[in-house]
Amino acid sequence: MLSPLIDATELAAVIDQVLLFDVRFDLARPDAGHEAWLQGHLPGAVYLHLDRDLSAPAGSDQACSGGRHPLPTRAEVARRAHGWGVAPGRRVVVCDAQGGMFAARLWWMLRWLGHAEVQVLDGGVPAWVRAGGVLQTGAVLPQPAPGEGPAPMAAAPGMATLGADALQAALGRCCLIDARAPERWRGDVEPLDPVAGHIPGALNRPFSANLGADGRFLPPEALRAAFLALTAAAVGPVVHQCGSGVTACHNLLAMEAAGLTGSALYPGSWSEWCRDPARPVARG
């Protein structure tokens, strides 16, 4: 199986053979990523929007979770991916400009769908430019995959999801990791959701801790040591969450890069959990 990460030099050697997606995004300015893509992107890279393409409308039958960025059902992901050109055997590379903050979401979604050949460009667009890569301007339209519809694929091993009820029943018997910033995890501040705090028992591993100063992922051995230390006293399977199921995928990607597979995702995350007054909340 391919490494979940690819560096800019490796990508340059195979760029004509892969399907490229650019998922740059800004939570404060949702159209900023698309604007940046139009101004300059990797040659052939198709733009996908976090809200419109990588999330389902809240409360719709396309969604299998709640929260601010509902995860689409596997059937819906398959339908969309077919329209983007994703097909069995087609290698996919995803990039952003935020150290993989958003690229990890699409990486996880395609792995969850069963697509094994998907990687994140380590360091994203900035790393490509630093390596001397050229940028293309203007729009690139997706080319649907051949055939009438998405080819069925088996779910990738270890790419499981957990709903809110199942997670609440498992508290104390799983290792829950929260990817939000420490001040949000503690409940000191909450800029995005109506309630501050965290799910009881959740450990804190900010996704930014997976990155070096250059915006690239830390070496696999460093990631492995950090996650093993974090989970050393924990019991049960590892489950990842964040604010809305996006940056949790960054920790999943980091663990995969470190050779630590088999974690699950709670896709609704804090933004779903905290909206139900019956769910327990911890602070501090």
DSSP class of 144: P
Task: Judge whether 95 and 120 are in contact, CB under 8 Å.
Answer: yes
Q: Answer for the pair 118, 177: CB distance below 8 angstroms, yes or no.
A: no
The alpha carbon dihedral of 78, 61, 28, 177 has a sign of: negative
- Residues 235, 168: Cα–Cα separation, whole Å: 15
Could you list the beta-strand ranges (E) of 97-241: 118-121, 160-161, 175-178, 203-204, 238-241
Let me know if 274 is a catalytic residue.
Answer: no
Instruction: Pick the closest to residue 244 from 30, 22, 58 (CA basis).
Output: 58
**Cα–Cα distance, 110 to 133 (Å, whole number):** 26
Which H helix or E strand runs over 253?
A: helix 248-257
DSSP, collapsed to helix, strand or coil, labels residue 166 as helix
Q: Which residue of the set 95, 174, 242, 249 is catalytic?
A: 242
Annotated active-site positions, please?
A: 242
